[in-house]
Amino acid sequence: MADTDDPFALFARWFAEAEQSEPNDPNGMALATATPDGRPSVRMVLMKDWDRDGFVFYTNLESRKGDELRANRAVALLFHWKSLRRQVRIEGHAEDVTAAEADAYFATRPRLARLGAWASDQSRPLASRAALIARAAAMEVRYPIGDIPRPPHWSGYRVVPAQFEFWQDMPFRLHDRVVFARATNGWTQGNLYP
């Protein structure tokens, strides 16, 4: 499987194949965070950008994940591409994206999604769906035309990898597992038993 010693090159190839084969959201990834005392939490988010610096997603900074990331920057990601019978696990730490990056991405979102970022108190109790719809309507009144600024509580994180694991399903459960770990001057590479 790993005909390269560069985990980013292998990810690029696998992601390109997933974009061709996955019926929905090839950029969907499970994000695992934890509280300072180690209580884990996982949810699906969408990767909005990636490069050799890391994997970027955006969120409400006041959400549960935002609270956990403020307290504990250690995270894990999981891409699962069922149609290809592959997954990629990434462990690392989360860094804040710049305000300019967050502004640029926010400006690309559909208008209703930008209004929703203002209307939603993500992860906090909601009395009724009608209450959320009313808040969204109030945001449409507040911003009837033109630009909608990025809320101060909405931004993004870049997950900087310390380790990758590439998993490929193989017959008789003799799966192929290749691990890359960040080293001082590059990446070490090895295999794991399935």
CB atoms within 10 A of CB 13: 12
For residue 173 the two structure tokens come to 């459960």
Of 146, 137, 144, nearest to 107 by C-alpha is 146
User: Which of 47-76 are b and which e, b meaning 16 or more Cβ less than 10 Å from the residue's Cβ?
Assistant: bbbbeeebbbbbbbbbbbbbebbeebbebb
Give the CA count within 13 Å in the CB-facing half-sphere of 123: 12
> Is 124 annotated in the active site?
no
Q: How many CB atoms lie within 10 A of CB 36?
A: 9
DSSP annotation of 149 reads: P
Cβ atoms of 24 and 81 within 8 Å: the answer is no
Active-site residue, selected from the candidate residues 43, 135, 142, 173: 173
Write out the two tokens for 92: 């690392």
CA distance 36 to 129: 32
Q: Which residues are catalytic?
A: 173
